[in-house]
Structure 1
Amino acid sequence: MFYPKLIYENLPYIYLLICAYLLAFYSTWAVFLSAGLFYCAGCITLVTRSGYRRLDRRKEIENNPSNKGNLPEWLYEYLPYSYFAVAMIIVLKTNSPALQFVAFCLMILALRNLLFRMSNRRKAKSLF
């Protein structure tokens, strides 16, 4: 199936917007389940695309025997999205200032990890 580039490139963000809309305006368990499915679909699409478009040499780093203590690749890729999902659940379901501060910290951590990934996965500028 072929989609126009405008729709194809923005599809994961559309999934995430649908998830946010459902969480903001509805509060039944069926809606929470469908919002979770949209969130998972958006995250899976973003991680899969990132894997195909990577310009860094992550595969060579993984094969290095000195890296045995690192996280598994799938956990590493989905961890920021998990941080953000947990933070949103805390924000939506609690009124405790301490828990909302924890949620804010989780959101900052998720954003930091995603921004670092985005900058590290770009091709380095060449001298020639």
Structure 2
Amino acid sequence: MTDDRTTKAIIFALIAGFIWILWIGHQRSVDARQEYERNQEKERLERLACDRGEYCSNFEAWRRSSGNYYPVKLPTGEYYFYGSKCIDKCEGHVAGYEWAIANEIISYNRCSTDSQSFNDGCETGVISNRVDHGLD
């Protein structure tokens, strides 16, 4: 009688463990799918901005610089940051982007300073923040 209870307990524990492992695997799969979908949506929005000519004038520059935190220098000597052509070496763009990200800015109205490059970087940060917050 004791062996029968022990066997049933072991079988129950194995089945419960198997179900738990399946559930954990499913959760990881769901999380990975959601992350992939967020990245796809972010890329789609960035492409739309590029297509409208708002944030890049050169698709190759956009492609090489989007998703790349550091400015990209093209063979022509031009610099791009997240698809936006920079003045000099993108210091203003990077500063505006970092400010918008650090302060979780989600309104384009907050990106109006005397520095156009700072404003461009800030607007890029706003796009990123809005996508992260599910607003765009």
Which of the two has higher C-alpha Rg? 2
After TM superposition, the score normalised by the length of structure 1 is: 0.31
User: Higher strand fraction: Structure 1 or Structure 2?
Assistant: 2
Scaled by the length of structure 2, the TM-score of the pair is: 0.29
More helix by share: 1
